[in-house]
């Protein structure tokens, strides 16, 4: 843990560079033990970053953070940790280290992020509460940012429906922002949700931290739902990030004269969000609606001779329920062409089915 925290403290080594180092070298400790000459040969690192790693001495700061984590029972989730959110690994800039206090499964099979304005109307409130209530039968994890307005409404609606909800924070876990949401944050943790951040203790909610936080809200979900947003602000930034991560984005429309719905209307107009008028439409688009189960496909599977590659894919889907094409490429440790060929054959045989967002699961 010492070296993992220390890696986040090295000047000019950001999340992209940290991931490169982990992929090429392995553990955080091994990175610090590697010579500068070897480090600078890694594409994207160079001599300055290699020197900064070699000369890094501020391990005392990392040790202080470890004591804080132990005192408050906070789990550090490094890139290679089994509990690290897999969906974030398919973003180009995943957090090197996350700090998590909670019990909600960050790798749950169904995760929805709900975002929107800080100054919602009654219309927005009704949309949030109806959406989350209708999602309760699907046992999704609800993600938001603990801000005023739609964020807080989403968390409270999830608590009311006994759904796990995770608040992604733009600061360290030694504080809560805004202060008024301390009770809400405690209730989230108490009811089996979680508080998640990539910022260590004593990092305050400075303005530039919020876009950084928003990329986690965008990357952590399967579907992002925008409820009341202007054309500028954090919600639009998050939607843009989600689009870059190839997430499924949905938006509830509003009156063309309503400034608080102008962002939602714009996302729909430029085809970056699917127009949403009911939760069923989201469930249908995501392939989450309950359908009639048949045993024909399962029986058929017993008589099919699977190739080694096909066995790898089906075994992974048995373990994880559903996976994206990127996750299958990563976990299968096969070439992308081999994975694509195996998926094509399995779909043809009716053993797996495709879902929105290039995700796959075994046929029911």
150 phi, psi to nearest 5 deg: -60, -40
| Residue 84 domain-assigned (yes or no) | no
Q: Between β-strands 248-251 and 165-168, what pairing exists: parallel, antiparallel or unpaired? A: unpaired
Do residue 261 and residue 333 come from a single domain?
Answer: no
Which residues span the domain enclosing 324?
A: 296-362
Strands 352-355 and 359-362: antiparallel
| 266 and 305 share one domain | no
Mean pLDDT lowest among 91-95, 313-317, 360-364: 360-364
Percent of the chain residues topping a pLDDT of 90: 71
Task: Specify the pLDDT at position 182.
Answer: 95
Do 124 and 224 lie in one domain? The reply is yes
Predicted pLDDT at 292: 42
Please tell me the total number of residues recorded for the chain in this structure: 364
Q: For 295-349, what is each residue's pLDDT tens digit?
A: 434 444 444 678 888 889 998 998 888 888 888 888 888 877 788 888 888 877 7
Q: Tell me if 164 is assigned to some domain.
A: yes
pLDDT, residue 330, reads 84
**Domain count of the fold of the chain:** 3
Q: So what's the pLDDT on residue 337?
A: 75
Mean pLDDT in residue range 122-145? 94
Give residue 290's pLDDT band: very low, low, confident or very high (50, 70, 90): low
Q: What is the mean pLDDT of the chain?
A: 90
In this prediction, residue 293 carries a pLDDT of 40
The domain that contains 67 carries what CATH number?
A: 1.10.150.20
Q: DSSP assignment, residue 87?
A: G
- Answer yes or no: do 218 and 253 share one domain: yes
110 and 18 part of one domain: no
Is residue 353 within 8 A of residue 361, CB to CB? The reply is: yes
Beta bridge partners of 77: 98
In what order do the strands lie in the sheet containing 194-197?
75-78, 97-102, 194-197, 165-168, 141-144, 111-116, 223-227, 248-251, 274-275
- Terminal Cα-to-Cα distance of the chain (whole angstroms): 41
Q: Is residue 202 part of a domain?
A: yes
Mean pLDDT of 284-294: 68
User: Do residue 310 and residue 255 come from a single domain?
Assistant: no
Whether residues 302 and 282 share a domain: the answer is: no
Answer with the one of 286, 305, 325 that is the final residue of a domain: 286
- Domain membership of residue 356 (yes or no) is yes
Tell me the C-alpha distance between 242 and 281, whole Å: 19
pLDDT of residue 190: 93
Q: Are residues 113 and 259 in the same domain?
A: yes
Residue 51 sits in the same domain as residue 125: no
Judge if 125 and 242 occupy the same domain.
yes
Question: What is the CATH classification number for the domain harbouring 305?
Answer: 1.10.10.10
Rounded mean pLDDT, 152-174: 97
Query: Does residue 201 lie in a domain region?
Result: yes
Mean pLDDT of 147-176: 97
Q: Under a CB-based contact definition with an 8 Å cutoff, are residues 135 and 163 in contact?
A: yes
Task: Name the DSSP letter for residue 180.
Answer: G
Q: With contact defined as beta carbons under 8 Å apart, do 58 and 1 qualify?
A: no
Residue 295: per-residue pLDDT: 40
What pLDDT is stored for residue 191 in this prediction?
A: 93
The verdict on 304 and 260 lying in the same domain is no
Q: Are strands 322-324 and 97-102 parallel, antiparallel or unpaired?
A: unpaired
Tell how strand 359-362 and strand 322-324 pair up.
Answer: antiparallel
Parallel, antiparallel, or unpaired: how do β-strands 248-251 and 141-144 relate? unpaired
Q: Is the predicted pLDDT of residue 160 greater than 60, yes or no?
A: yes
Q: How far apart are CA 193 and CA 163, in angstroms?
A: 8
- On whether residue 239 sits in a domain, the answer given is yes
Tokens representing 79?
């890139």
Give a yes or no: residue 141 inside a domain.
Answer: yes
Q: Which residue has the tokens 């797996």?
A: 352
pLDDT at 304: 60
Rounded to an integer, the average pLDDT of 262-276 is: 94
Please state the φ and ψ torsions of residue 118, each to the nearest 5 degrees: -80, -15
Q: What is the pLDDT of residue 299?
A: 40
Beta strands at 141-144 and 165-168: parallel, antiparallel or unpaired: parallel
Sign of CA dihedral 351, 354, 359, 364: negative
Identify whether residues 135 and 261 lie together within a single domain: yes
Q: What is the pLDDT of residue 12?
A: 94
> Quick check: is 318 in a domain?
yes
Domain boundary among 71, 93, 113: 71
**pLDDT at residue 294 is higher than 70:** no
For residue 214, give the CATH number of its domain: 3.40.50.450
Name the domain boundary from 22, 54, 71.
Answer: 71
Mean pLDDT, range 53-68, rounded to an integer: 95
């Amino acid at each position: 843990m010492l070296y993992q925290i220390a890696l986040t403290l090295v000047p000019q080594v950001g999340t992209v560079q940290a991931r490169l180092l982990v992929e090429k070298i392995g553990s955080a400790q091994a990175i610090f033990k590697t010579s500068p000459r070897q480090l600078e040969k890694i594409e994207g690192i160079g001599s300055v970053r290699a020197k900064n790693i070699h000369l890094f001495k501020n391990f005392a700061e990392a040790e202080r953070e470890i004591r804080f984590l132990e005192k408050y029972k906070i789990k550090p989730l490094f890139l290679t940790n089994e509990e690290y959110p897999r969906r974030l690994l398919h973003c180009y800039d995943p957090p090197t280290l996350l700090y998590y206090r909670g019990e909600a499964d960050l790798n749950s099979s169904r995760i929805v992020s709900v975002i929107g304005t800080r100054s919602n109307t009654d219309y927005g409130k009704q949309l949030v509460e109806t959406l989350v209530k209708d999602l309760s039968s699907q046992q999704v994890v609800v993600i938001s940012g603990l801000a005023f307005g739609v964020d807080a409404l989403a968390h409270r609606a999830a608590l009311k429906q006994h759904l796990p909800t995770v608040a992604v924070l733009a600061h360290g876990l030694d504080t809560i922002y805004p202060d008024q949401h301390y009770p809400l944050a405690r209730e989230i943790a108490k009811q089996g949700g979680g508080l998640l951040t990539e910022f260590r203790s004593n990092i305050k909610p400075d303005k530039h931290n919020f876009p950084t936080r928003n990329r986690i809200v965008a990357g952590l979900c399967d579907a992002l739902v925008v409820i009341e947003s202007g054309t500028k602000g954090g919600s639009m930034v998050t939607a843009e990030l989600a689009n870059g991560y190839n997430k499924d984005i949905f938006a509830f429309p509003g009156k063309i004269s309503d400034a608080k719905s102008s962002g939602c209307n714009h996302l729909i107009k430029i085809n970056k969000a699917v127009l949403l008028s009911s939760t069923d439409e989201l469930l249908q688009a995501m392939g989450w609606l309950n359908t009639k189960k048949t045993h024909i496909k399962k029986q058929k599977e017993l008589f099919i001779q699977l190739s080694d590659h096909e066995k790898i894919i089906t075994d992974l889907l048995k373990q994880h329920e559903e996976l994206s094409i990127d996750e299958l490429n990563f976990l299968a440790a096969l070439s992308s062409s081999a994975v694509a060929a195996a998926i094509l054959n399995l779909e043809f045989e009716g053993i797996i089915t495709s879902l929105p967002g290039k995700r796959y699961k075994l046929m029911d």
